[in-house]
Amino acid sequence: MTALPVLLLQDALCLEHHAGVQHPESPERLRLALQQLLTDLPDGVQLAAPRDATDTELARAHGADYLAQLAATAGKPRTVLDADTATSAHSWAAARRACGALLTGLDACLDGEARGAFALVRPPGHHAERDAAMGFCLVNHVAVAAEHARARGCQRVLIVDPDVHHGNGTQHSFEARDDVLFISSHRWPFYPGTGAPGEVGVGRGAGSTLNLPLQAGMGDAELLALWQQLAAPVVAEFAPDCVLVSAGFDAWQHDPLGGLRVTERAVSRRSSRSSVPGPTRTAPASSLPCSKAVTTQRV
């Protein structure tokens, strides 16, 4: 029996988002990552072409007025949305394609056509709020994907966010719900100022948010201890039937701005099946620092 592939979803349109001259979230970051990956594609990984996210899919996680604001940027050379976030002529199209890459991979996993999906995309997403751009992010791709998973019949969706920055937009999307568990490890205090350990969800969602803050200079030992001692029991009790990884890698020890000392070994161990106990199986996902990718697999 032939093993199912892990899909690698990428599209040249994601290189057409330009946030500004010398902006840290530049096309070159994605271009270099793709160049290395496509030169030596790992065994069992298969390229797949993404689709665009539809208006209906985007509207599950974002308000109509905000989506209209983003759509109005199309074709304009530059639109400033906040102090850190700007668009170019093709940014809206790139954001829709990036979000669609996650949904393409998710559908393939839910339909039994893939055992995992890895979307290498930009612009990033986890800081985007329901009605506002923030922190380089336009569309909250993983929030859209989680809503899509629920619409497809998944009952308990786990979102893991290991970016050095807290995923404020994702937390706010689900903090009042008990059908989505959000777990974030991140440097704290740090941008964007959210992600304190006391933020555990509200109302019906109390207990469905788990923040694992790390102080500057911390690395593998502290990260893995938090995941194994705090996150693993929570995940086991939640028993997700879909896992989404919002995978920024700026917690890496050589990131020029992140300030943490996490190595590739720790990322691999945290992403392994043993780190996500219970019936759900996952495959590792990856992306650029502060860009979002999704791994999905349903039992």
Q: Where are the beta strands (DSSP E) in 142-265?
A: 157-161, 180-187, 209-214, 242-245
Quick one: the chain helix, strand, coil %, rounded to 5? 35, 15, 50
Residues 136-186: tens digit of each pLDDT: 999 999 999 999 999 999 999 999 999 999 999 999 999 999 999 999 999
**How many Å apart are CA 97 and CA 50, to the nearest integer?**
7
Q: What was the pLDDT predicted at 288? A: 35
User: Is the Cβ–Cβ distance between 292 and 247 less than 8 Å?
Assistant: yes
Tell me what the mean pLDDT of segment 9-13 comes to: 98
What domains, with CATH codes, occur in the chain? 6-275 (3.40.800.20)
From the list 17, 18, 90, 127, the catalytic residue is: 127
The angle subtended at Cα 37 by Cα 31 and Cα 39, nearest 5°, is 100
Is 127 annotated as catalytic? yes
6-9 and 45-48 as β-strands: parallel, antiparallel, unpaired? parallel
Q: What was the pLDDT predicted at 272? A: 64
Tell me what the mean pLDDT of segment 64-90 comes to: 98
Q: What was the pLDDT predicted at 249? A: 87
User: Is the Cβ–Cβ distance between 53 and 99 less than 8 Å?
Assistant: yes
* Burial of 184 from C-beta contacts in 10 A (0-12 / 13-18 / 19+): buried
**How many Å apart are CA 123 and CA 87, to the nearest integer?**
10
Give the count of beta carbons closer than 10 Å to the beta carbon of residue 189.
Answer: 12
